[in-house]
Structure 1
Amino acid sequence: MLKKTILLENKASLTTKNLQLVIKTDVRESTIPIEEIGFIVLDHPEIYLSIPAMNFLIENNAALIVCSTNHLPNGLFLNLNSHHIQQEIFKQQINASVPLKKQLWQQTIVEKITNQGILLEKITGSKNSFDFLASKVLSGDSSNMEGVAASQYWKSFFEMKFKRERFGDYPNNFLNYGYAILRAATARALSGSGLLNTLGIHHKSKYNAFALADDIMEPFRPIVDEKVFELMQNYDEQELNTLLKSELLQILTRTVYFKEEKSPLMVALQKTASSLQQCYTGERKKIKYPKLWI
């Protein structure tokens, strides 16, 4: 079932009654069945969330995203008991061999570079060499084709002079918001498949609680890039507002394509996460990434 995404930017209280989430603001009160909720973005310092409501949401695998004073997602609450054989899966993930992790990272970067090339061609109308770069990705991406591709990608992506930086100038703020939402959705899917987000394939920082999400989201980043490009064409604003945030949240329902079917992104991420779990348990050899365009 396609889950709902809720953005709260005003003072509100969130409680629960009869398995319904009750949202009260100064102007209205609404109720939503908790099992229908996939994501809640909390972007106001005076939002009250009751512990029972939080527990019901987490038990139903909803992701609670908390924004900081700069209105960018800053924290994430996830279900830590979302799979019936979670401990067994953790063991398989922890004991995964280095060659396996290198192969999984190679697959991931091939997908990312391929998707970047397709989107860049759509935007510029010109052929590029990204298929060639993808073909040169080695096990573990030891030759850093990801970095080579990123350099070429961002030089050509925007008409304006642009440098991709976490705390850089516009439109970095748009990209950062979109990537944070994508990261939360990826972490939710991985947790739902019984995987440990802290233990990445490639990302290894001891300060990163979502290293695996940062790995698996890489091929999906062009979805955010495409949306940001679209917003820049249609709006003059350079600061995030409610409308632009709502537009960026729509990436979660954007259609992607598997061989047998098409799927909303939030559902596709669950399929990708499940396939990764099967790679750890030896049931599969490749992560199941969808095509972003057909």
Structure 2
Amino acid sequence: MIKRTLFFSNPAYLSTRNEQLVVSFPDSEKQDVTVPIEDLGYVVLEHPQITITNGLLMQLVQHKTAVITCDKQHLPTGFLQPLAGHSEQTERMRYQLNASVPLKKQLWQQTVVAKIDNQANHFLARGKNALRLKRYARSVSSGDLGNQEALAAAFYFQNLFAIAGFSRNRKAMAPNNLLNYGYAILRAITARALVSSGLLPSVGIFHRNKYNAYCLADDVMEPYRPYVDAVVYDIVESGCNIEALNTSIKKDLLLIPAMDVVIDGKRSPLMNAMSRTTASLYECFEGGRRKLLYPEFASY
């Protein structure tokens, strides 16, 4: 089932009644709006004057709905997740924490190859030459000791957008602002799926920054990044003003959880595909499989 994403950019009072999310507008004559909580996958809170009741937060967490808060720059900055996301959580976390270094290196190798392949296929879909990216993908070793991921990313972003001087930098020129927003949404999707699979988003297979609470999410989301890039590419090509994140652009980026991807030869909403990826990751930790299941970007 495809879960809905709700985005709140204006003052509102959010509460719950009869298993429904109730949206009230204290400073307006608008009627209350209700939405079934079980239908929600993501709730994005952008305006600082939004009030949300503890009862609603409790029900959202129980239904594994990701609640995302934004900062003054309107970028996602916080993510509420349940303490217990799976009935076998303790055992699954034990498998994760006991994963051997060679296994982690193999999983990271698979992740980097999948990411670069998807970047190459995105290039092909845009009529760009992908031979160099394909060569990088073939050169990835266990643990990516040669750092092919960084080499591929540098080439990829230097040639993706027809914008002079563009480079991927969080605080640099547009459309970095769009990419930042899209990746933040993708990170929340990944963290939600990891928790639902009984895994710790903070313990990564490659990323291990002690100040990063989402190291594993940052690992697993890598092959999914080109899907965000594709949405941003279309926005840039549309000719609209990309210097500021307006409501129309955010609306397009908030459709990322529901966009179609191909995984295991079948089409699936991205958020559902992510759940299959995190489930396969647990199976690798547990020893039931050797290969992570990642989507393949369609090059046509």
Common fold by TM > 0.5 = yes
Single out whichever of 158-167 and 177-186 deviates more from structure 2: 158-167
Q: TM-score, normalised by structure 1?
A: 0.98
- Name 1:198's counterpart in structure 2: 202
- The reply to whether residue 78 of structure 1 matches residue 78 of structure 2 is no
Distance 1:260 1:204 in 2: 32
Query: Per-residue CA shift, 1:222-264, capped at 9, x if unaligned?
Result: 0011111100111421210111101011111111112352100
Equivalent in 260, 263, 282 of residue 255 of structure 1: 260
The corresponding residue for 1:293 is 298
Q: What is the alpha-carbon distance in structure 2 between the residues aligned to residue 180 and residue 73 of structure 1? A: 6
Q: Which moved more, 1:139-148 or 1:259-268?
A: 259-268
Paired residues of 1:203 and 1:214 also in contact (CA < 8 A): yes
Work out whether 1:171 is the aligned partner of 2:175.
yes
CA distance in 2 between counterparts of 1:259 and 1:58 reads: 30
- State the AA in 2 paired with 1:65: I
Structure 1 segments unaligned to the other structure (5+ residues): none
- Segments of 4+ moved more than 4 angstroms: none
Within a 5 Å distance, the mapping from 1:1-294 to structure 2 comes to 1-25=1-25, 26=28, 27-160=30-163, 161-237=165-241, 238-293=243-298
TM-score computed with the length of structure 2 as normaliser: 0.96
State the superposition RMSD in angstroms: 1.1
The structural deviation recorded for 1:127 is 4.2
Q: Secondary structure at the match of 1:129?
A: helix
Determine the C-alpha separation between the residues in 2 that align with 1:204 and 1:150. Answer: 20
Q: Residues 145 and 42 from structure 1, CA distance in 2 versus in 1: closer, same or farther, beyond 3 angstroms?
A: same
Evaluate the alpha carbon distance shift between residue 235 and residue 28 of structure 1 in structure 2; reply closer, same or farther with a 3 A threshold: farther
- What is the aligned length? 294
Q: CA deviation at 1:103?
A: 0.3
Report the identity percentage.
Answer: 44
Counterparts of 2:257 and 2:206, CA distance in 1? 24
Q: 8 Å contact 1:124–1:157 — kept in the other structure?
A: no
Deviation at 1:122, TM superposition (A): 2.1
The residue matched to 1:132 in structure 2 has which SS?
A: helix
Tell me how far 1:42 sits from its aligned partner.
0.3
For residue 172 of structure 1, report the CA deviation from its aligned partner: 0.5
Separation of aligned partners in 1, 2:130 and 2:92 = 42
After TM superposition, give the deviation of residue 14 of structure 1 in Å: 0.8
